[in-house]
């Protein structure tokens, strides 16, 4: 079995070396750097399976790196796990909104880091296996490969969170997803945040895809949401 390669972007040398040792003990191959400038040089040189990212770096911040990777046409699907000493919940929510797969604060348990990393890698495998390339409804085309929503010839902007929720619902029409289920599927069982984050995303998505003929995302009272069959 080939080792997974994990890119560690961490400013603190002690933490960087500790994360390397933990992952290498669990049979991962690691590449470790101390700033964001080298990120795309490394991504362009070889295949990276996941990124463990510090929030504060000497030349940039983790938010900028997440945004850039999620907008990249090749690297957009790489799992990104934030690892930081910052316990501010709003920063955690922002990181997840921008596209981080998980958010871990220091200090942490070794097994927790490895478990969350493996969970993110599994989600990527499942998503790639189950997704069709394009989902069509009304005049919309949701391209799951290049992460774009288009209405006729117009591109409709979706945030990372909006895209993940819409692709989950639209790829599984008539299946009911609870708010907790969507949070768990998108950001992992170990991350806790208010379910109203899902409601906010749903409200924004509805404004972008609803028409006079169809309200594609239905509320299932007391349960969650489902996407209507085409």
Q: pLDDT tens digits for 124-151?
A: 655 544 455 788 888 889 988 778 899 9
* Beta-strand pair 177-178/5-9: unpaired
> What is the rounded distance in angstroms from the CA atom of residue 80 to the CA atom of residue 52?
6
For residue 101, the 8-state DSSP code is: S
CA pair distance 20, 45, nearest whole angstrom: 20
Report CA-CA distances (Å) from 150 to 45, 68, 138, 210, 226.
Answer: 32, 21, 11, 13, 21
CATH number for the segment(s) 5-128? 3.40.50.2300
Q: What's the CA gap between 185 and 120, in Å, rounded?
A: 10
- For 51-95, write each residue's pLDDT tens digit: 999 988 887 888 989 988 887 766 777 889 998 887 788 888 888
CATH 1.10.10.10 positions along the chain are 132-227
Domain with CATH 3.40.50.2300 in the chain: 5-128
Which pLDDT belongs to residue 129? 46
Rounded to whole angstroms, the Cα distance separating 185 from 164 reads 10
Q: What is the rounded CA–CA span in Å between residue 158 and residue 227?
A: 17
pLDDT band at 213 (very low <50, low <70, confident <90, very high): low
Cα–Cα–Cα angle for 130, 131, 136, rounded to 5 degrees: 145
| Sheet-wide strand order for 177-178 | 177-178, 224-227, 217-220
* Separation CA 36–CA 60 (nearest Å): 6
Q: Kindly state the percentage of the chain with pLDDT values over 70.
A: 88
Q: How far is CA 20 from CA 13, 29, 114, in A?
A: 11, 9, 11
- The fraction of the chain above a pLDDT of 90, given in percent, is 24
- Return the CATH class of domain 132-227: mainly alpha
**45-54, 93-102, 105-114, 210-219: which range is least confident on average?**
210-219
């Amino acid at each position: 079995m080939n080792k997974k390669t994990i890119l560690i972007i961490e400013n603190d040398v002690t933490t960087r070396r500790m994360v390397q040792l933990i992952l290498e003990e669990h049979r991962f191959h690691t590449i470790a750097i101390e700033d964001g400038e080298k990120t795309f040089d490394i991504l362009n040189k070889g295949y990276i399976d996941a990124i463990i990212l510090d929030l504060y770096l000497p030349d940039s911040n983790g938010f900028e790196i997440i945004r850039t990777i999620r907008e990249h046409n090749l690297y957009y699907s790489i799992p990104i796990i934030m690892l930081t000493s910052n316990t501010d919940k709003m920063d955690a929510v922002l990181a997840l909104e921008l596209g981080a797969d998980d958010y871990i604060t220091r200090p942490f348990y070794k097994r927790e880091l490895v478990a969350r990393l493996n969970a993110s890698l599994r989600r990527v495998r499942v998503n790639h296996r189950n997704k069709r390339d394009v989902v069509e409804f009304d005049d919309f085309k949701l391209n799951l490969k290049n992460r774009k929503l288009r209405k006729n010839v117009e591109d409709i902007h979706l945030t990372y969170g909006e895209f993940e929720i819409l692709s989950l619902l639209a790829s599984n029409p008539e299946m009911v997803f609870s708010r907790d289920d969507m949070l768990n599927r998108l950001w992992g069982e170990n991350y806790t945040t208010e379910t109203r984050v899902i409601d906010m995303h749903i409200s924004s998505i509805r404004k972008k895809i609803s028409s006079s003929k169809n309200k594609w995302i239905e509320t299932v009272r007391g349960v969650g949401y489902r996407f209507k069959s085409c």
